Amino acid sequence: MKKSIRDDGYAIAEFAIIIPILISLFAMGIWAIGISVKKFEMENYTNNLVRTLARGEKASEELMNAAPQGININVASKQDRIRVESVFITQIPILNREIEITAIAEGVNEFYELQ
């Protein structure tokens, strides 16, 4: 069977278009896995911190140093409730859009005295 001259080069052109798209999708997948791991670390840290504060203990330097890199921590106390919020801001690599990942934990202050 004879090849037509018009068919030459189509496979190379399709390959040249598809490969960058596949590499971009692969990179986004790896980035998404990294963000999921960061979210998991933030949730664990936030839960540990609120548990420590709810017991009436001060957060040790070791606990404060265990915070995942790049997060902002907000601690609020209102009557018998303690709320810890961890926020991480990052950019989606290809889209250059900023996203915010938040982990919130609340606990009851075990030493709150009713008046």
- What value does the CA radius of gyration of the chain take, rounded to a whole number of Å? 25
Q: How far, in Å, are 43, 93, 105 from residue 85 at the CA level?
A: 9, 25, 7
Q: Mean pLDDT over all residues of the chain?
A: 84
Both tokens of residue 101? 């990942």
Q: Quick one: average pLDDT of 3-9?
A: 62
pLDDT value, residue 1: 56
- Residue 5, pLDDT > 70, answer no
| Phi, psi at 81, each rounded to 5° | -110, 140
Q: Are 77 and 49 in contact (CB under 8 A)?
A: no
Q: What pTM does this model have?
A: 0.73
Residue-wise pLDDT tens digits, 32-87: 999 999 999 999 999 999 988 888 888 778 888 888 888 999 988 888 889 999 99
